[in-house]
Amino acid sequence: MSWSQFLDQTYTLAPSPLVDSLIQVDGLTRRQVAIRASSPSARPSWRLAARLTFEQEIPEIESEPSTFTAETPPLRIELERNSLIEVPLTLTPPYRAFFRVPYWFTELRLEIWQAPLLLAPLPGEFKDLAFNVGSSGWTDDNGYYWIVAAGGTIGNSGSSATFKGLHLERLYKALWPHYPVVSKGSSASSDWNAGKALTLPDLRGRTRITAGQGSGLTNRAIAQTLGAETHSLTTAEMPSHNHPGASGAGAFFMSPGSGGSFTVSTLAGSQHRTASNTGNAGSGQPHNNMQPSFVACTVIATGERYNP
């Protein structure tokens, strides 16, 4: 994806002894930002050049530990690579960021890039893949975690679910109103906290239809399963039909039919009575009930970044 540069500015700092400087940046709008801070101010290599914090009492988010390199002349300290920051979803754009600069810096060059607008997948969103992924799930190029829609259960870290962990809480609460939970309680939050497992959709061998009732169609509920891959006809499903027969004086015949057996009892005069049994045909095996289909791998979004 293409990043756009938001800021490239050098600041001259005049900090007091043992008091860090604070650089304020306004107008940030994206959920992902990359920062690069560099300075000619020389200090030990384990120091961070800048730390990123946000307003609204959100806990401080530090850039990942970075390696500094020294160049002479002049002596220069810089981040080895861009530090990627994921902005909390509770922060509404545009937002303001503060860079807390350690007190020993007298000059700091700050570069900021913003990721292109990217909408995170919604918890419970389905995606079809043209390749197969493992049973542990799949992390896309943006770091979002998806689970194969093949049944199984989800729950908190202390549950006995197939998939468990804090990264599944949003998906759990999104599915809770519609999907089975062991001893379902009064709310999604209470069941999550109690470690109750929730059953995931299983789309193996199934097509998807939209919930509701179309014109002249049957009403279908979300998460409902129906239909079968094969089906054996019942008598009620067979078209109305008969097997005609006819008889005449001094003769008899049946049509159509093959392999049958019959007996004839001749009555007084010109009357006669015929009793017959037609032979059985067919074996009653189920027939293929599937529409033309293409098989893909369906995954369901957790809405969270995670790498199993």
SS3 per residue for the chain: CCCEEEEEEEEECCCCCCCCEEEEEEEECCCEEEEEEEECCCCCCCCCCCEEEECCCCCCECCCCCCECCCCCCCCEEECCCEEEECCCCCCCCEEEEEEECCCCCEEEEEEEECCCCCCCCCCCEEEECCCCCCCCEECCCCEEEEECECCEEECCCCCCCEECHHHHHHHHHHCCCCCECCCCCCHHHHHHCCCCEECCECCCCCCCCCECCCCCCCECCCCCCCCCEECCCHHHCCCCCCCEEEECCEEEECCCCCCEEEEEECCCCCEEEEEECCCCCCCCCEECCCCCCCCEEEEEEEEECCC
Quick one: which of 118, 132, 91, 99 has its CA closest to 3? Answer: 118
pLDDT at position 181: 95
Average pLDDT of 34-59?
51
- Provide the pLDDT for residue 66: 35
Check residues 298 and 115 and name the one with the higher pLDDT: 298
What is this structure's pTM? 0.57
* Length of the chain in terms of residues written: 308
What are the Cα distances from residue 85, in Å, to 34, 64, 98, 123? 6, 9, 13, 22
Break the chain into its structural domains and give their ranges. 4-114, 126-204+297-305
- In this prediction, residue 204 carries a pLDDT of 93
Q: Which tokens in the block code for residue 108?
A: 């700091």
Question: pLDDT per residue over 227-260, tens digit each?
Answer: 999 999 988 988 888 776 655 555 444 444 444 5
Q: At which residue do the structure tokens 């999104």 appear?
A: 174
How far, rounded to the nearest angstrom, does the alpha carbon of residue 58 sit from its chain's CA centroid?
28
Which CATH number applies to 4-114? Answer: 2.60.120
At 276, is the pLDDT very low, low, confident or very high (cuts 50, 70, 90)? Answer: low
CA distances from residue 182 to 117, 192, 199 in whole angstroms, order as listed: 39, 11, 9
Mean pLDDT of all residues in 209-231: 93
The token pair that represents 276 in the structure block: 């017959």
At 261 the pLDDT is 53
